[in-house]
Amino acid sequence: MSVAEIGQLHRRYVRLSDTFKAFWTFHQFASSAYKNFLQLSLPYNFDFQRLYESIRATSELFQSAAPPPDAAARIERCESDLQKIAAALMAADLAIKPSILRRFFEKLKQQDEKIVFNLIKFYLYSGRLSGDQRDKIDFLITKIGEEYLEDRGDFRARDSGELKGQFQGLLSIVQVRADEEDIARVVRQIREIKEQILDAPEFEQLASGNLLERLRSFKHEIGELYFHPDVLLAIVDCNVAAKNRFLRLYREEEQQILADSQRLVTHEEAIRKRLTSNPELIDEIERFRQFKQEFDESRARSDVKHTVITRLKMSIHAILSEIESELDAAGDGVVFGGRSVVLDSAPRADRIEASFGADPLLYDHLARIIGLLDEVDVTGGEEQIASHPSLHPIRLEPWEAGAYLKLFRNAPMEEEETNDLMLLYLRAAAIRLLIDEQARKLATVPESDDPSPTLLVAIRESLDRAKELDQMFGDSLHEGIYFTDPKVLHRLYRSRFRLLRGFSGLWLIYDQRAGAA
């Protein structure tokens, strides 16, 4: 056996040993995740100890000057066994969502950087680097690149020189081919997103204004460029800045919610006695108590989602609005925490912004949809609502009308439905209206005239938003393996295809009129 062949065998052994460490670390993590978070048994059963002994035995092959003739075959058997385990581990990983990975590390008493590195290597060696796996890699990479400053209560990115060296060693597993211009362009775009996140003035704009989702989508869209050390440095810097901004704005939002909630709890009995003739208010108070409990429980788990906050805020607002209307009619008033409960008289605007955030692009069309639905008799169910003559111009799907009922009329969710899914349905309906309107405007411009730059810019913004929503539909359909109700998948596909039909129609007209420019 030549020196070159021996060197190649040794490199295979080093990779084999390193891969086993990564897979063993993931197995330990998966065991904890399935037991403590999923309350399930692991879906596989392998003798890791036997494989470990086999791999360790191969190390003896390199202790002599001339490895035995069967050295390559022995290493190949170990590699084959490891590949069989890899398929089972990756199947088990599908049930472990990124939020579970985050909660695992929050509860981990001793933070060991080796665990983080080996989990990243598990995903790199397995070759699955998109979807949820990309989100989990992103969390782990940021875990390496950040440090917590206890005196300030926030995070900062670690020294870039040290990090780049670590990334270069870690990412030798992945071969990234890219020229310097592509790298510079991606880094520049990440920094632009970071600046927009830092400029978000309120939690609502950050959480539901597509800034965080835009960052996440961008990290998915750049493909293998994500794994270039320079890009990773920019991503870590942006992730840390986004986390700090989120924490700061969330703390402010949390304190306001807690204060408003406590005022309602304190005065609940007085409200009940004063307004016993208003059953809707009593029902809303019951919902408030449920949402408050959900909020408190999620705070205790450090797992508060935007939808949890939105439901609680909307419930608080609904109660205060009811109190305002009752007391205004009686010419009376009640003071909460030193201020009157009288609010701005714009309930529909508040409801839309509370659910969808500040969204100038879609607000008018969301308001049109919600306004029309507010005027319709909703007792007949979503099929009857969607077919109501007054709703023909907006051509809603029944489940889109159902999303309105569940978000704004407190109709119960089906088992596999979520607030995020309901918001996605209504956003898709709104962007369809906007796209159709812009397509008609562009089609009316004579061929001999140039469309106005303002219209073209507006169309580009709409097309970009439509692509973002399409990505969100794609992510939801990616989770379809876990849906047991085929209706959910059908609704997702139909809403997505309607979105794509409108998008493609507008794009074709836009490309014909402005593509060259």
User: Six-digit token pair at 278?
Assistant: 């208003």
Distances (CA, A) of 90 to 43, 126, 206, 412: 11, 8, 33, 35
Q: Which residues contact 402 (CB under 8 A, 6 or more apart)?
A: 382, 411, 422
User: Six-digit token pair at 174?
Assistant: 């992945």
pLDDT at 346: 40
pLDDT band, very low/low/confident/very high, at 247 (cuts 50, 70, 90): confident
Residue bearing tokens 């949890």:
308
> Quick check: 346 and 324 in contact, CB under 8 A?
no
149-178 pLDDT per residue, tens: 877 778 888 888 888 888 887 777 877 787
Mean pLDDT of 237-255: 83
Q: Strand pairing of 146-149 and 335-336?
A: unpaired
What's at 456, amino acid-wise?
L
pLDDT band, very low/low/confident/very high, at 64 (cuts 50, 70, 90): low
Give the dihedral sign, CA 80/84/85/91. positive
DSSP code of residue 227 = G
Q: Which residues contact 310 (CB under 8 A, 6 or more apart)?
A: 208, 354, 355, 419
Length of the chain equals 517
Mean pLDDT of 277-306: 72
User: Six-digit token pair at 379?
Assistant: 């007792």
DSSP code of residue 158 = P
Distance CA 145, CA 346 (A): 45
b/e 215-253 (16+ beta carbons within 10 angstroms → b): bbbbbbebeebbbbbbbbbbbbbbbbbbebbbeebbeeb
Which of 61-65, 122-126, 333-337, 482-486 tops mean pLDDT?
Answer: 122-126
What's at 517, amino acid-wise?
A
300-347 pLDDT per residue, tens: 766 666 667 766 777 776 676 666 555 444 444 443 333 333 333 345
Mean pLDDT of 26-37: 92
Which of 239-248, 336-345, 463-472 tops mean pLDDT?
Answer: 463-472
Confidence check: pLDDT of 432 > 90:
yes
500-515 pLDDT per residue, tens: 988 998 988 888 887 5
pLDDT at 90: 92
Confidence check: pLDDT of 207 > 50:
yes
Confidence check: pLDDT of 60 > 80:
no
Distance CA 295, CA 260 (A): 13
What's at 365, amino acid-wise?
H
Q: Which residues contact 40 (CB under 8 A, 6 or more apart)?
A: 34, 95
| Closest to 222 in 3D by CA, of 256, 184, 195 | 184
Confidence check: pLDDT of 241 > 70:
yes
More confident residue, 306 or 473: 473
In 150-269 the beta strands, taken as DSSP E runs, fall at: 154-157
User: Six-digit token pair at 495?
Assistant: 């809403």
User: Six-digit token pair at 273?
Assistant: 């006695």
pLDDT at 267: 65
**C-alpha count within 13 angstroms, C-beta hemisphere, residue 301:** 16
Long-range contacts: 244-248, Cβ < 8 Å, 24+? 244/154, 244/155, 245/197, 245/198, 245/200, 245/206, 246/203, 246/206, 246/207, 246/212, 247/153, 247/154, 248/154
pLDDT at 159: 86
More confident residue, 100 or 63: 100
Mean pLDDT of 62-71: 68
pLDDT at 328: 45
Distances (CA, A) of 415 to 390, 419, 427: 30, 12, 21
Q: Strand pairing of 335-336 and 339-340?
A: antiparallel
| Closest to 419 in 3D by CA, of 291, 302, 276, 505 | 291
What's at 210, amino acid-wise?
N
Cα 390 → chain centroid: 35
pTM for the structure as a whole:
0.56
Mean pLDDT of 410-415: 82
Distance CA 472, CA 430 (A): 15
pLDDT at 516: 47
> Quick check: 250 and 204 in contact, CB under 8 A?
no
pLDDT at 110: 65
Cα 218 → chain centroid: 12
Which of 278-292, 293-307, 350-364 tops mean pLDDT?
Answer: 350-364
Q: Which residues contact 492 (CB under 8 A, 6 or more apart)?
A: 473, 476, 477, 480
More confident residue, 299 or 46: 46
SS (H, E, C) 65-116: CCCCCCHHHHHHHHHHHHHHHHHHHHHHHCCCCHHHHHHHHHHCCCCCHHHH
pLDDT at 345: 32
pLDDT at 123: 92
pLDDT at 271: 66
User: Six-digit token pair at 335?
Assistant: 């003071």
Percent of the chain with pLDDT over 70: 81
Distance CA 50, CA 282 (A): 63
pLDDT at 402: 93
Q: Which residues contact 27 (CB under 8 A, 6 or more apart)?
A: 46, 48, 89
Distance CA 238, CA 60 (A): 46
State the Cα torsion 470-250-403-102 to the nearest 10°. 60
pLDDT band, very low/low/confident/very high, at 483 (cuts 50, 70, 90): low
